[in-house]
Chain A
Amino acid sequence: MKSKNRTITPLEKELLKAAEAKVLSSEKKSGDDIAGLHAALKIFKEKGLPAKSLEKWRNTDLFDWYQKAFSPVAEKEKFTKEVDDIFQCTVQGFDSNVVSILNGHYYSPEKTILQRFDNGLIIGSLAKAKAQYPQYFKKYYNKIAPVDANGITAVNRLFAEDGVFIYVPDGVEVELPVQLIKLVNKRGLMLNTHNLIVLEKNSRFTFLHCDDSINHDDSFINTLTEVYVGENASLDLYKLQNINDETVLLNNSFFNMERNSRLKVNVLTFNGGSIRNELHVNLNGEGAEADLSGLYLMDKKQHVDNQVYVNHNAPHCNSNEVFKGILDEEATAVFNGYVFVERDAQKTNAFQRNNNILMTSTARVNTMPFLEIYADDVQCSHGATVGQLDNEAMFYLMQRGIPFEDARMLLMFAFAAEITDDIKIETLKTNIDDMVKKRLRGELSICDRCVLHCTTPDKPIEFEIDLSKI
């Protein structure tokens, strides 16, 4: 075997240096998971940051980003002003419980940093919760995401100190969605955060995870989210990604799903330099159901990669994946959908679809379904399309007097609507629809702020007509 002569990139060099220091300092402290840190460091040394030579990273090349020595150590910001004063992203008219993370740390006044409500619901800082509720951490933390998944998760393990912790007890149905706003206000940082969301049996919860930028500073965001959905529990998770072109966002989410549980994930990617979402869903209990969808609207030289892994480990489970994207200019996208059906997972239904519209000849998409099936009584399907807007439909619309640009918009919006129509919170859906329209009009990416709270009033959006609402 040839000896591996990997070039160590500036980012890897920076991370190694910081990791060694971190391990050293942890050894002096009690309470830190020294063994875990050592294991993660070993994996990182072995694997490094993912390179395009890896099969699963073939079409997502972050090499240029690794040339910047982003620092994985960020000072915790003192809570001096409300997050609304830094950034406003509470969706208009959308009632939610807002929590925020600034530069990788939970950002909140001391008294609300970890809240336990009357019904037993816990929302707060992961760092704080780790000390206060060790029982949950022992059971779930680092148990859902394998430490050796890849170099990126190892880096997260090494540096993530904080994140959001949510615990929904048995039988608690939380009406008010929780909205996480993640922000960065310093340049050159690599932000590693770790979220843990636990839904005990028969509970219900809605979580909205927003990644936003407040300026054009560069950053490298590496988020790990572990989710446990207990028996008969139900989770709706929306990811909204509207970051600047100078930012890399890596999102690794791992889900363990018990019997008859339900999961719905909707990943809405509006803007960002390079974004990769990995969803790892383990259907571990009979009758579990995962509904995974995504919409990406990219332009310039932006890149988005959705990697969806669904493991049917138990019989009678359903999974459904629909990801759609519109790519303009020189944008590139990847969709890889892996469905794995275990030998015992009979009566599995697994469907997968990826549709793309390329607006230019320079936009590119790589879409690849993988099915690995060991059971014999299953229904699986997959399909992928890459195309342009339908010329027949364009002419039909224009023949009715609708100008070219509007006709194009109408068709693009209709294409996207299949995903946004699925948003169950009406006010959120309306806001997302507006975001989609603005994005398609090219008005969103010029906005430094989350468009939901653009300071400039928007011109009215035409063809916003749904008479069913009149």
Chain B
Amino acid sequence: MLLNIKNLHVAINGKEILKGFNLQVNKGEIHAIMGPNGTGKSTLAAAITGREGYEITEGEIIYKGQVINDWTPDKRANEGVFLSFQYPVEIPGVSMTNFMRTALNAKREYLGLPQMKAGEFLKLMEQKKKLVEITAKLTNRSVNEGFSGGEKKKNEIFQMAMLEPTLAILDETDSGLDIDALKVVAKGVNELKSDENAFVVITHYQRLLDYIVPDFVHVMYGGKIVKSGGKGLALELEEQGYEWVKEQFGEE
């Protein structure tokens, strides 16, 4: 099993957001996590990636057989955990190439591999840019600075393609995307998908799942999963909305 989250409780500033969350993900699988706003979806992404301020008060995150609760974000990343951010951060003064090459070489160093040569790196970048149809020169552009909403999300998938994660978490990747950009992003994901990796797709709407087809759909509410099913569940949610979830599992 690639990821096994057991009875996870996570608090921010003492307030419990995740309340006994369980999830099991195997390689080769795509899991969709859906649910109304404020139910802890992004908290889950932050907890898996080790963000500061998200305190695990109970439970375990087991990744590749190891409890990673105390791992730093960079160690998790270098072990293959990737987060496509809901709101990618603009970092003025750090060029995309500089950033990507630093990240790539950090991973290689972690894995005990030699640094990638500049020419090789450049070629890899060009190749991966095509995957998400980024035509702009990234060399002189600062990370996400001046990128449109769509470009930012494409850029996340581009970075994912560069870093080739084992476990990719897509946090609301569809938000703010027009249909064309959505297709591009989905195409990128589908091309990267293999038997050796897994995706956790966090989304509010079913729309993205037309293009990234999940093996499992989980409905999250009140800090835990309240219902799981196949891809049909997503369509059900689309038709019925989240009201029934609230009714069935109680108003927060």
* Residue from B73, B107, B121 in contact with A398 in the complex, judged by beta carbons closer than 8 Å: B73
Chain B's interface: helix, strand, loop or mixed, by majority?
Answer: helix
Interface centre among A392, A400, A403, A417 (most CB of B within 10 A): A400
> Does B226 sit within 8 A of A, measured CB to CB?
no
> Which one of A391, A403, A413, A415 has the highest number of Cβ atoms from chain B below 10 Å of its Cβ?
A403
Chain A residues with CB under 8 Å of B101's CB are 463, 465
Q: Which residues of B contact A414 (CB under 8 A)?
A: 91-94, 142
From known contacts A395-B51, A396-B89, infer whether A410 and B95 are also in contact, taking CB-CB under 8 Å. no
Q: A402-B106, A462-B105, A466-B97 are in contact. List 20 more A-B contacts (CB 8 A).
A: A390-B89, A396-B91, A396-B143, A398-B77, A399-B73, A399-B83, A400-B106, A400-B159, A401-B77, A401-B110, A403-B72, A403-B106, A411-B91, A418-B93, A465-B97, A465-B98, A466-B95, A467-B121, A467-B122, A467-B139
Residue pairs across A and B with Cβ atoms less than 8 A apart, 12 shown, are A390-B89, A397-B103, A399-B82, A401-B107, A415-B93, A418-B93, A462-B105, A463-B102, A465-B97, A466-B98, A467-B118, A467-B122
Q: Is A404 an interface residue (CB 8 A)?
A: yes
A413 to chain B: closest residue by CB:
B93
Alpha-carbon separation in the docked complex, A465 to B99 (Å): 9
Q: How far is the CB of B110 from the nearest CB of chain A, in Å?
A: 7
Nearest CB of chain B from residue A439's CB, rounded to whole Å: 16
Determine if A470 is an interface residue (Cβ-Cβ < 8 Å): yes
Task: Report whether B102 and A462 are in contact in the complex, using a CB–CB cutoff of 8 Å.
Answer: yes
Q: Residue A393 at the B interface, CB < 8 A?
A: yes
List the A side residues contacting B140 at CB < 8 Å: 468
A396: contacting residue among B72, B85, B95, B163, CB under 8 A: B85
**Cβ-defined contact, B98 with A404, below 8 A:** no
User: Does B166 sit at the interface, judged by CB under 8 A?
Assistant: no
A381-424 interface code vs B (CB 8 A; 1 in, 0 out): 00000000011110111111111101100110111011000000
B interface residue numbers (CB < 8 A to A): 49, 51-52, 72-74, 77-78, 82-83, 85, 88-89, 91-95, 97-99, 101-103, 105-107, 110, 118-119, 121-122, 139-140, 142-143, 159, 163
Question: Which B residues are CB-close (under 8 A) to A407?
Answer: 74
Q: Which residues of chain A are near B98, meaning CB under 8 Å?
A: 410, 463, 465-466
**What residues of B have a CB within 8 angstroms of the CB of A462 in the complex?**
102, 105
Could you tell me if A396 and B118 are in contact, using CB atoms closer than 8 angstroms?
Answer: no
Q: A392-B89, A397-B91 given as contacts; is B77 within 8 A of A465 (CB)?
A: no
Residues of B within 8 Å of A406, CB to CB, are 102, 106
* Residue pair B77, A411 in contact (C-beta under 8 Å): no
What are the residues of chain A within 8 A of B143 when measuring CB–CB?
A: 396
* B83, B91, B119 — most chain A CB neighbours (10 Å): B91
Among B82, B102, B103, B122, the most chain A Cβ lie within 10 Å of the Cβ of B102
Q: Which chain A residue has the least Cβ–Cβ distance from B105?
A: A462
- Per the bound structure, the CA–CA distance linking A467 and B138 in Å amounts to 10
B119 adjacent to A395 (CB under 8 Å): no
Q: In the docked arrangement, what's the CA distance between A391 and B102, Å?
A: 19
List chain A residues, Cβ under 8 A from B92: 414, 418
- Contact partner of B118 (CB less than 8 A), chosen from A403, A413, A470, is A470
Given A411-B91, A414-B94, A466-B95, is A398 in contact with B105 using a C-beta cutoff of 8 Å? no
